[in-house]
Amino acid sequence: MKAYTDRELEIKSVQYRMNLLRYIKQANAGHTGGSLSCTDILNVLYNDVLNVSPDTFTSRNRDRYIQSKGHSVEALYVVLADMGFFPEDDLNTLCRYGSDYVGHPTRKINGIEFNTGALGHGLSISAGIALAGKMDGRTYRVFTLLGDGELAEGSNWEAAMMAAHYRLDNLHAILDHNTLQITGRNREVCSPYPINEKFRAFGWEVTEVNGHDISKLRKVFKTIPRKKGKPSLIIASSVKGKGISFMEDEKKWHHGVPSDEQYKLALGELKKKMEALRV
Amino acid sequence: MTMTDIQIERANLDVFSEALMKIAEKDKDILVVTSDSRGSGKLGPFAERFPDQIVEVGIAEQNMVGVSAGLASTGKKVFAVSPGSFLTARALEQIKNDVAYSDYPVVLVGISSGVSYGALGSTHHSLHDLAALRAINNLTVVIPADAYETEQAILQASVAKKPVFIRFGKKPMPLLPRPEMEFEFGKASVISTGSDVSFIATGETVAPAYEASKILADIGISAGVVSMHTIKPLDKTTLIAQAKSCRALISVEEHSVHGGLGEACASALMTAGIHLPFKIIGIADEDTKTGSQVEIFDHYGISGRGLSKTALSLLK
Ligand SMILES: [Mg+2]
């Protein structure tokens, strides 16, 4: 794995945001807000944490990444393309008739492990993979990205209980905690709080981090497993629509597609950010 | 297993748990995942002999299926075992997405299916599972009739590269006489042929259909019996051949009359342009009559007597 500086990864994040906005704009479809909120997390995972590449994707000992919040697939697509899992040009077909690049992850795309998108599935799947690793004495780790809205799905809590029971310290859930779901604030829709205390009560090791601070994210992932015998939850505080001023923390960007004017503005903001980083 | 090894009446459930032990002994990647269901699944001996090959997740069917898919994705050969009703209603979305759509070859085993739980009532009956699972792509749906079919189904599912759903009950079933010891998913087993009527039956209803064929033979009516053990993909070739070789067809299933074997047959026949007297026998779309499995079967005409009467009225 190439060793990047924090600055280099920050530049990648801006590029990923530009790319995902381009393909969403082109497809006239996509989960813009959620993709922007998990961009930095995926960046750090794939470029700094996961022991997986196009060459090792069929290895039994590869690290696994399961995107439970499947709707933010555009962020995943642009990162996978950057990792060389498929040519980025493929994304020109995003959501087009007959394209394999549909609006949620599927195994038809190289680099994707499971077909997700219906919520509350990723944690159970990940627990199963982690359990197999323990049974076979393998050293791979399993990472899954959860949305905060999907914590209302009861299956998460079935999996949380079971993962602690089997002491799956090779299982790492990351919560993309942007505090919004399609209807509005999590706490107003059906409060998931206190999230940290709930998971701790279920037997998990919980840590919190700024989900957009590349340096801090890298540090958190360096310290896993955080506690022997315990699955871990990393609550990544994030902002839905992160990086585009008028999209930030606005529920309407859950799957909003920018108009031509908005797209120009958004790209302008990202270009400015890029220039600042490259100084 | 040879024919002589088989006792005449054996519960498919017992055959299942023994078959599983045989294959688990040879293949350490065989895993059983249960939802507090090892007792109902007769998996106590399995758990004792292969403690490292059984995973208990507690009463949590959704998690059971998701975990099974995760395990299967690493190369494990997973049998997810839970009462048919809970497995296919509670965990339907995990079956659809984590197993079928994601295409990992989990073997989903619905125990105590249909009305096996009898007087425990409708919460425990699975009369919806065929309808639900038939509409899910990439899933083979199998209901073995007797010990032979059950063992074959388990053995073949254990090497299948695609997801399979198998369901059965716990009542001792007679071993059906079959002209050929052949079993293949998607290929019906013709138990006997008849020129007047043919019963297209599945699972634990094949035995009463066979009994009905004997009753009918005694009064000079030639009735055939087919074990349509695979509901999906449906063996249309055998179905159509049966329709062409007799005057009437009767489908029999331990399932709602909606969306199961009967409607699958009706659709296949009409699509093929075949029209003949046809009746779907199953559990009526009503608050299910209570009683033991046999009493419920009897109530809905799934018995030698009931099915022979249906045949007579259809042939009139
Ligand atoms: Mg959210």
Interatomic CA distance for residues B30 and B200, integer angstroms: 33
Provide the residue ranges of all domains of chain B, joining segments of one domain with +: 9-173, 176-315
The count of domains in chain A is 1
Active site residue B180: no
**Closest alpha carbon within chain B to A114:** B102
pLDDT, one tens digit per residue, over A16-56 is: 999 999 999 999 999 999 999 999 999 999 999 999 999 99
Give how far the C-alpha of residue B54 lies from the chain's centroid of Cα atoms, to the nearest Å. 24
Question: Could you list the residue range(s) of the whole structural domain that residue A270 is in?
Answer: 6-277
What's the rounded mean pLDDT across residues B291-300? 97
* Phi, psi for residue A177 in degrees, rounded to 5: -95, 80
Q: What is the pLDDT of residue B7?
A: 52
The tokens for B26 are: 């040879």
Q: What is the pLDDT of residues B70-84, one digit of tens each?
A: 999 999 999 999 999
Q: In 3-state terms, what secondary structure has residue B114? A: strand
pTM of the model: 0.97
SS (H, E, C) chain A: CCCCCHHHHHHHHHHHHHHHHHHHHHHCCCCHHHHHHHHHHHHHHHHHHCCCCCCCCCCCCCCEEEECCHHHHHHHHHHHHHCCCCCHHHHHHCCCCCCCCCCCCCCCCCCCCCCCCCCCCHHHHHHHHHHHHHHCCCCCCEEEEEECHHHHCHHHHHHHHHHHHCCCCCEEEEEEECCEECCEEHHHHHCCCCHHHHHHHCCCEEEEEECCCHHHHHHHHHCCCCCCCCCEEEEEECCCCCCCCCCCCCHHHCCCCCCHHHHHHHHHHHHHHHHHHHC
As a whole number, mean pLDDT of residues A145-163 equals 98
Q: Which residues of B touch A113 (CB under 8 A)?
A: 73
Interchain CB distance below 8 Å, A155 and B52 = no
Q: Does domain B9-173 have CATH number 3.40.50.970?
A: yes
User: In Å, how far from its chain's centre is CA B238?
Assistant: 18
User: Tell me, what DSSP letter sits at residue B281?
Assistant: E
Residues in chain A: 279
Mean pLDDT calculated for residue range A44-73:
97
Q: Note whether residue A1 is domain-resident.
A: no
Which of the following is catalytic: B25, B48, B56, B61? B61
Across the beta sheet with B197-201, the strand order is B189-192, B223-227, B197-201, B248-256, B278-283
Which pLDDT does position A1 carry in this prediction? 77
Under 8 Å between Cβ of B187 and B231 = no
- Whether A123 is in a domain gets the answer yes
The CATH number covering residue A257 comes to: 3.40.50.970
Q: Do A158 and B62 touch (CB under 8 A)?
A: yes
Taking an 8 Å cut-off on Cβ atoms, the answer to whether B70 and A158 are in contact is no
Considering the domain boundaries, does residue A91 fall inside one?
Answer: yes
Six token digits for residue A241 = 């629509």
- Note the CATH number of domain B176-315: 3.40.50.920
Do the domain assignments include residue A101? yes
Mutate to test the interface with A, among B74, B79, B82, B136 (most CBs of A within 10 A): B74
Whole-complex ipTM:
0.97
Above 80 in pLDDT, residue B8? Answer: no
pLDDT digits (tens, 9 = 90+) for A190-230: 999 999 999 999 999 999 999 999 999 999 999 987 789 99
Cα–Cα distances in angstroms (integers) from residue B209 to residues A154, B176, B214, B305, in the given order: 43, 11, 9, 9
pLDDT surpasses 70 at B3: no
Asked if the domains at B9-173 and B176-315 fall in one CATH topology, the answer is yes
The yes-or-no verdict on residue A263 having pLDDT over 80 is yes
Strands B172-174 and B9-11: antiparallel
